Amino acid sequence: MTSSVEADSGTEPEGDPVQGWVMVGVCFVLGGLAFGVLGSVGVFLKPLVAEFGWSRGQTAFGYSMLSFASAIMGVAWGYVADRYGSERLIMAGAFSMVVALLGLSHLSQLWHFYAAYFLFGAVGFSTFMGPLFGNVGHWFKHNPGLALGIAAAGGALGQGVIPFIVRLMISEYDWRTAYFVLAVAYLIIAVPLALAVKDPPSRKAVQTNVRVQTDPRYSLPPIEIMTWVCAAVIFCCITMSMPIVHVVPLISDRGIAPETAASVLLVLMLSGAAGRIAGGKFADLLGPLPTFMLASAGQTILVIWFPHIDSMIGIYILAVAFGFAYSADMVSIITCMRLMIPVHLAGRAIGLGTAFGMVGMGLGGYLGGALYDLHGDYVWAFAAAALSGGINLLILSGLVLRLGMARRNALLPENPRNASI
């Protein structure tokens, strides 16, 4: 298989490897902070239900609000990053996270809850996903999947560690204190890191109208590739969101201590950090689309078992396996947009993929709560997640067939070294 160098061969400016790895580190931490709030929704769910009397569906819709806001604004911020760079956007995102968390610490009405999570998604999370990951991906011509995988591993780590810390703070103090402490911590950590963001030479070259070659293996128009991938991503993310939002309430409903239930999410996400690094490396070796399909198959097979395993040892094993698969899945989506789409569309492509992903995450989070309210347990919710995973795989299979047809029609040579898609 060809290396990822050929994905943007010829005229793409070389990136500074030192600055590139600095950006990986910045993305690792900022992504961890953003995903940490996303992962904490399930930990805050039962305390908020207990205090305000909201249903689980209503409360889980806060997760959906964050997701939908990120989807709405992600494409717009991607366009801005492609035209003007990502540096100021990331600073705005860091400040918006702090403001949203402060607002949540003073929560009194359901619409306040939704508004704060909307702000977090619209300006915080969305600026990090499209512009920031687009930035990192184009610092590297060699092994961009590995670089993106390491950067994305921060999100998995944050999604496990921060909810666990939040659960401890809620137990020791209360949920308002937990939100307030997060706000202060994010002000201290995120804002200074945002100052370190620099755009890669390839993006600056595009901004000065230097054209960058794209990989002839992906011979479909970029808009068609994005359409196929985004359609798959919706169903993929419905699948992955179900355990992320509902595994803590699922376990605690069995009479397990909330801290122990939160530790299952921690284990899932720690495994996910390894899964993202591995998924990025597999994308470099196998190609982004085969990696996407393999990881999707793994999470689809695994997700349905969460309500059916009673042993805590079994739940921990399942969490490890699902965390690895879902995280490899996630980084392969970003790598698809990096390697299959030209650099001048990088921010928009990753922003669009993130937008559809967040729509799927929002739908999955709300669907889990709504199906629980309807049936009184999570069996149907996790079954629906598995069904969504199957639809995702069907769409990806269609893209594989479409790329093969386009390659044959263009009479491109089928060199085994270039056959990986």
> What are the tens digits of pLDDT across the range 65-110?
887 888 788 778 877 877 777 778 888 889 999 999 999 999 889 9
Sign of CA pseudo-dihedral 115, 121, 127, 128 = positive
Q: Where does the pLDDT of residue 118 fall: very low under 50, low under 70, confident under 90, or very high at 90 and above?
A: very high
**Residue 351 pLDDT exceeds 50:** yes
pTM over 0.75: no
The answer for residues whose C-beta is within 8 angstroms of residue 337's C-beta and 6 or more apart is: 226, 229, 346, 349, 350, 352, 353
Whether pLDDT at 215 is above 60? no
Rounded Cα–Cα distance for residues 345 and 118 (Å): 26
For 377-385, what is the mean pLDDT?
92
Q: What pLDDT, on the 0 to 100 scale, is given for residue 217?
A: 56
> What tokens does 382 get?
């996790």
Domains of the chain: 16-208+215-411 (1.20.1250.20)
DSSP state of 195: T
pLDDT in tens, 178-199: 999 999 999 999 989 988 888 7
182 vs 168: CA distance, rounded Å: 13
Residue 162 pLDDT greater than 50, yes or no: yes
The answer for residues whose C-beta is within 8 angstroms of residue 134's C-beta and 6 or more apart is 78, 81, 82, 86, 203, 338, 346, 347, 349, 350, 351
Report pLDDT for 387: 96
